[in-house]
Amino acid sequence: MRSLILAAAFTVAASAAFAAADEPIQPIQPAKAANPAMVELGKKLYFDPRLSKSGFISCNSCHNLSMGGTDNLKTSIGDHWQEGPINSPTVLNSALNLAQFWDGRALTLQDQAGGPIANPGEMASTHTLALSVLQSIPAYVAEYKAVFKSDKITVDGVTKAIAAFEETLVTPNSRFDKWLKGDKKALTSDELAGYELFKDSGCTACHNGAAAGGNTFQKMGVVEPYKTTSAAEGRVAVTKDEADRFFFKVPTLRNVELTYPYFHDGAATSLTQAVDTMGRIQLGKSFTKEENAKIVAFLKSLTGDQPDFKLPILPPSNDSTPKPTPFNK
């Protein structure tokens, strides 16, 4: 009896897997934290504004896990309220990206994590200062030692821990994923029609894979040029190859209902506008109002499980901790 049930379960699972395998978008897999202690340390660091010069800006300020892993601003606010040059991409499912930042200048989450800390326009600290802050806090030193077997906190360890935490920030179980896995009632007929339109129109040429994006660099403005006031040049800034001008990492569409505004310049305030622009400049298509609405309905089915953990409590500074200097230039 038991083997019969198992065999039946296997058949259902296999057929669902087969169905999903035919689709250009694949289900998000739940995270397996290889090192829970490292993840816990990384979570604290992710929420700790003492990694910034001001003591006010943490990773979570611009990649806010209460808000789809973004700040929901056109471009971000940096130290001294500086206006950022580019839209903050979501940290959710960022482990699935082929590289980090819009231009892919960091190959890994660990490479990425060190950037904003020392960027004068973002957290405006230095790695030396941030490390001396952490090293002064006994609870951080103890937690670090338990994870990395060393008393000396390094940038390598800090960024490794932040990356380990970020790797857990995947969002399985969206309604679309349930549909992919065989639950045919998980999507409405409009959402399903939107998905078919999304595929038939060629959107999946770029937005494919588990993250529905994030796995290639593509030119912004294939059919007609994209008009923007943003100075961002895209991938050419990394490769120095003019052929890569205005090539950006294709953003993930996972949780896209939460990650507004859209595009590298944050210029599209709504999904309707984003779908319309993408259709025109990437595919040479003008979606009707009804088509656009169906695609938007599909996109909203991509919202998965959001971060689910307790607010971290940070260990306090002490007399020897370097003080934040929010109002010094």
Exposure letters 54-73 (e unless 16+ CB within 10 A, then b): bbebbbbbbbbbeebbbbeb
Residues 247-306 interacting with a copy of itself (rule: CB under 8 A): 257-258, 260, 269-270, 272, 306
User: According to the binding rule CB under 8 A, does residue 231 interact with a copy of itself?
Assistant: no
Cβ nearer to a copy of itself, comparing 66 with 286: 66
Cβ nearer to a copy of itself, comparing 61 with 97: 61
Contact mark string toward a copy of itself, 61..90, x via CB under 8 A: x--xxxxx--xxx---x--xx-x-------
Residues in the chain: 329
One-character DSSP codes across 13-28: HHHHHHHHHTSSS-PP
Residues 105-134 interacting with a copy of itself (rule: CB under 8 A): none
User: According to the binding rule CB under 8 A, does residue 312 interact with a copy of itself?
Assistant: yes
Give the 3-state secondary structure of residue 154.
coil
Q: CA nearest 194: which of 284, 256, 265?
A: 256
Annotated catalytic, 122? yes
Catalytic pick among 40, 83, 122, 224: 122
Q: Of the ranges 124-132, 172-180, 203-211, 310-318, which one interacts with a copy of itself (CB under 8 A)?
A: 310-318
Residue 121: Cβ-neighbour burial (10 angstroms; 0-12, 13-18, 19+): middle
Sign of torsion over alpha carbons 57, 59, 65, 67: positive
Cβ nearer to a copy of itself, comparing 28 with 99: 28
Considering only 16, 37, 49, 285, the residue that binds a copy of itself (CB under 8 A) is 49
Q: Is the peptide bond before 261 cis (omega within 30 degrees of 0)?
A: yes
Are 51 and 133 spatial neighbours (Cβ–Cβ below 8 Å)? Answer: yes
User: According to the binding rule CB under 8 A, does residue 324 interact with a copy of itself?
Assistant: yes
| Catalytic (active-site) positions | 122
Positions touching a copy of itself (CB under 8 A) are: 47-50, 54-56, 61, 64-68, 71-73, 77, 80-81, 83, 257-258, 260, 269-270, 272, 306-314, 316-319, 323-324, 326-327
